[in-house]
Amino acid sequence: MLPSMELQKMASTSKPPHISDYQLICMIGEGAFGQIWLGRDALGLYRAVKVIRYEDFDSLESYQAEYHGIRHYAPYSRKYEGLMEIHHVGIHKKEGYYYYVMDLADDLREAESITPDYQTKTLRAYLGEQPDHRVSPQQALRIGIEVAESLSYLHSVDLVHRDIKPENILCINGKWKLADMGFVSRCGGKTYVGSLGYIAPEGPGHPSADVHGVGKILYEMVTGNEVADFPECPSWIFDNASEAAHFQELNAIILKAADPIAAQRHQCGWSLLGELESILPEGRHEPSVAGGGAAPDWGRYVYAALAVGLVLAVLSYVRLVDQALEEATMPPMEDLAGSK
């Protein structure tokens, strides 16, 4: 736990919003649709708290859609360890913002406790610390497998992420997880959202569009190039014969995952995961970060494959129930806007 003086040093110049049961210490991230704060609860546990303000949106409908999305996603986040867990979703109608409390990512500096120079360990930040901003094909493969595992679960419950990029992949307790779930929606959504360079040409909304984003991330990890350079390949990558062999295996999967033609891609996270696993040396599914995380329990995927038929059979019913519950508990649109 940080001494009170250290907490004061971390205090942000931006006034923190009021979140019940949490002390917001400092802002640790900011985007077009919200701020992320380092928070501490009454028990002294550190969490990340994202605050989304109505005033940052072009319309009430888009603000409402993101609120709907995070509320719908939160229960799923607590069912699968590969997703960043959402602990609580709340709203302050009068102040015009809602928020959600989530797991705090590891410190990029690998400090054992929260310090004043804490930095969120996103995949983007991690790559920035590596020589040539890249990792070996073997490590890229293991990170890709962890991301594809998370995506497989999301797709199995008829959800799509819609904003896959290195900034939205966090290392939490040594495991790489999907984060920033504000754009999560049911499959088939028509709203055009996402980040330039990672959005599939046909737009988001289908599981294969999420796969497209993962393919671009794998490309960045193994080449050190910017996403705009895809599919150019640095010539020096073939200087090391052993690494070149690993790269060629992974490269075939990358080209398929990031194919501009949707029909040529892996159609869901599960399909991508299967191909990535097929080139992993047997018995060597190690943590993607040295010293961090435990190897996944591969037995659960065998069970998942057997259960997928049942999931699909009841999916329509579940969606109807979820929609009914959301409509029953959702504040009126004018209430979401607060005093606006």
Domain ranges of the chain: 12-104, 117-296, 303-331
Contact 169, 179 (CB under 8 A): yes
Of 138-142, 174-178, 301-305, 326-330, minimum mean pLDDT range: 301-305
Domain boundaries 117-296, corresponding CATH code: 1.10.510.10
Among 275, 90, 287, smallest CA distance to 172 is for 287
Q: Is 307 or 150 the better-scoring residue by pLDDT?
A: 150
Angle between helices 60-77 and 299-329 (to 10 degrees): 140
Contact 266, 207 (CB under 8 A): no
Among 189, 193, 131, 157, smallest CA distance to 75 is for 157
φ, ψ of residue 261 in degrees (nearest 5): -95, 115
- Domains 12-104 and 117-296 equal at CATH topology level: no
Work out the pLDDT band at 14, boundaries 50, 70, 90.
low
Residue 246 exposure: Cα atoms within 13 Å on the Cβ side: 17
Average pLDDT value for residue range 173-189: 84
Q: What does the pLDDT look like over 188-246, one tens digit per residue?
A: 766 667 788 999 999 888 999 999 999 999 999 999 999 999 999 888 887 877 778 88
Q: Which CATH number fits domain 12-104: 3.90.1150.10, 3.30.200.20, 3.40.50.10490, 3.30.429.10?
A: 3.30.200.20
Q: What does the pLDDT look like over 318-328, one tens digit per residue?
A: 444 454 444 44
Contact 84, 177 (CB under 8 A): yes
Query: What's the chain's length in residues?
Result: 340
Work out the pLDDT band at 152, boundaries 50, 70, 90.
very high
Helix (H) or strand (E) segment spanning residue 208: helix 207-223
Q: What is the DSSP letter of 212?
A: H
CA 33 to chain CA centroid, nearest Å: 15
